[in-house]
Amino acid sequence: MSVEIIDIREIRERRRLRRLRRLTRYVYTAVAVMLVVTLVLAGFRLFGKRGGAEVLPADLQAAIEQLDWVSIELLPVNEYSRPGTPVEKINAVVVHYVGNPGTTARQNRTYYERLAENRETKVSSNFLIGLEGEIIQCVPVNEVAYCSNHRNEDTISIECCHPDETGKFNEATYASLVKLTAWLCSAQGLNSGDVIRHYDVTGKECPKYFVDHEDAWESFRAAVQREIDALKAAEKDK
Ligand SMILES: [Zn+2]
């Protein structure tokens, strides 16, 4: 066994070095933690942008009320066409046809409204598009409309008028349908793949023409996607 005689200055020096090493470790750890937190937050932001759907249905409704090409004519809250049930999240847009050839958007809205008194059935839609391309909103997008069965709680429904039994939309109705669908998708971070037919929910022959003509449905979706892309590009240029 040997006894070392250690200089008091050396002990102090070693302690100083130890403290310094500890401090350096703390600084490195803190920097690493900050870096990880920053990366995670940046990742979330990127992911959020790509995933979209960050807009709350109530905020989307407020934005719709600013559009001069949508006529807001909300139904009174009632059990048969506007139950007032809140929608928490919008995952899709569902397209329908009214199934009553030659009727106007206003006539269909009146039909929904009268259900509050005559209680014949429960039916409504968030939007109606008429034969002249006019767009009427009947139920806010942050509330359930009675249109798409079990998807009423997480979708927006659009009912379209049509001149005859084929259910084919005329040019004005079609143009408004593309415009409205694309605008809604774009505002919600959705794509044309999130646009569905009533048929895709329950197998019902609705909207008839787009069920009978799969190619017409696909070209409608493609037109919606082109419009979504154009809206995105315009947003970027701002
Ligand atoms: Zn339908």
Calculate how far, in angstroms, residue 227's C-alpha sits from the geometric centre of ligand 1.
Answer: 24
**Residues 122-142 pLDDT 10s:** 999 999 999 999 999 999 999
| Contact criterion met (CB below 8 Å) for 69 and 179 | yes
Cα(176) to ligand 1 centroid in Å equals 18
Residue 20 or residue 46, greater confidence: 20
pLDDT tens-digit map of 54-93: 699 999 999 999 999 999 999 999 999 999 999 999 999 9
- C-alpha closest to that of 100 among 148, 179, 180, 159: 159
pLDDT > 90: percent of the chain = 74
Nearest Cα neighbor of 160 from 81, 119, 100 is 100
**CA-closest candidate to residue 80, choices 34, 138, 29:** 138
C-alpha dist (Å) from residue 146 to 21, 202, 217:
68, 14, 23
For ligand 1, the distance from its centroid to the CA atom of residue 94, given in whole angstroms, is 8
Where helices occur in the chain by DSSP H, the ranges are: 8-51, 57-64, 105-118, 171-188, 198-202, 208-212, 214-237
Instruction: Say how far apart CA 225 and CA 229 lie, in whole Å.
Output: 6
Give the confidence band of 144 by pLDDT, cuts at 50, 70, 90: very high
Q: Does residue 50 have a pLDDT over 50?
A: no
Confidence (pLDDT) at 12: 84
Reduce the DSSP state of residue 3 to 3 states and report it: coil
Q: Ligand 1 centre from 85 Cα, in Å?
A: 20
- Mean residue pLDDT of the chain comes to 91
Cα–ligand 1 centroid distance for 68 (angstroms): 26
The token pair at 238 is 């701002």
Q: Is the Cβ–Cβ distance between 125 and 135 less than 8 Å?
A: no
pLDDT band for position 49 (cuts 50, 70, 90): very low
For ligand 1, the distance from its centroid to the CA atom of residue 61, given in whole angstroms, is 22
- Does the pLDDT at position 53 exceed 70? no
Crossing angle between the packed helical segments 57-64 and 171-188, to the nearest 10 degrees = 140
Annotated domain spans of the chain = 1-51, 57-237
Contact assessment for residue 210 and residue 218, using Cβ atoms and an 8 Å cutoff: no
Q: Which of 207, 196, 224, 222 is nearest to 160 (CA)?
A: 207
User: Which residues are found with C-beta within 5 Å of the ion, ligand 1?
Assistant: 96, 198, 206
The answer to whether residue 42 scores a pLDDT higher than 80 is: no
Q: Rounded to the nearest whole angstrom, what is the distance from the C-alpha of residue 173 to the centroid of ligand 1?
A: 16
Specify whether domain 57-237 bears CATH 3.90.1150.10.
no
Q: At what angle do helices 171-188 and 214-237 cross, to 10 degrees?
A: 50
How much distance in Å is there from the Cα of 121 to the middle of ligand 1?
14
* Å from CA of 132 to ligand 1 middle: 20
Tens of pLDDT along 172-221? 999 999 999 999 999 999 999 999 999 999 999 999 999 999 999 999 99
